Structure 1
């Protein structure tokens, strides 16, 4: 973690938990629209959608993080697509809802138990923000298709 006091992040919901991405990677947050499903996609990939005249892969972030089975796409009002730009490679992440853009105080980091240090490869920490836990995701781990991610046990790692 760098020596800044706060990181400005988009805080969003996946199932019943809160996660965050540093806003420096986010291009836009938008409502879900139509997308095309392709054969033989990874289990976390929902399909392709159009964004600013580009064809962009749409990823179910819950499934990508090992949090749930592949979700069926819907048009619920809370669902959003977080569009990121990884050095010219555009990606959309479907999330259940976006809470807000918040300053995550790095001084509020929760210590991970010793048996869960491998989580540090995919998260920049778990923080307390307004009396709730927020898991700050490492951007490069989430966008790397070769990175295997399973955050289903993050609560055990902090003793929640």
Structure 2
């Protein structure tokens, strides 16, 4: 979802990673779960925490802090897993995204959203749809379909297949 495509009020689920506030288009979010036991799968990247059993389906879980190069966080009573649908080669892939805490569902008007900052060439900001402004606070709006590369999603699918046997 490009910033230009946000022409009307859009609902976002906001969540915290460290001190930063992030948001996902509510249309991509299936549900939010309390933190649960995650089964680690060998030979996967650090940010790939493992898999959970979601009503009989194997769902890979990614630690967004580690994915974004942040320090690993302490697990608290607010730590949760946001279940999202990611688009990959025209197919929907269900994944879990670990967050420090879910804040709220928020309506943002198009005039409350600015294009992502141009930080330079070293940092990939392709997965940032825009910067929302709400109550004098910036919200980093993520394009969850772009947070993960196709290679990473293929790894996730292989991981889930290996666990399914």
TM-score of the aligned structures, taking structure 1 as reference length:
0.79
Deviation per residue, 1:95-118 (Å, 9 max, x gap): 000000101222123465554487
**Is residue 2:16 matched to residue 1:13?**
yes
* 1:113–1:88 Cα change, 3 Å: closer
Q: Which runs of 4+ in 1 moved over 6 A?
A: none
**Cα gap change, 1:112 to 1:27, in 2 (>3 Å):** closer
Structure 1's 113 and 93: CA in aligned 2 closer, same or farther, altered over 3 A? closer
Q: Is the 8 A contact 2:18 2:100 kept in 1?
A: yes
**TM-score, normalised to structure 2's length?**
0.77
Task: Please name the residue that 2:29 is paired with.
Answer: 26
Partner of 2:143: 138
Q: What are the within-5 Å matches in structure 2 for residues 139-158 of structure 1?
A: 139-144=144-149, 146=151
Residue matched to 2:132: 127
Q: Structure 2 residue aligned with 1:69, among 66, 71, 74?
A: 71
Contact 1:13 1:19 in 2 (8 A): yes
Number of residues of Structure 1 aligned to a counterpart in Structure 2: 144
1:88: how far off? Answer: 3.6
**Match in the other structure for 2:111:** 107
What 5-or-longer segments of structure 2 have no aligned partner? Answer: 153-165
Question: Per the alignment, in what secondary structure is the counterpart of residue 43 of structure 2?
Answer: coil
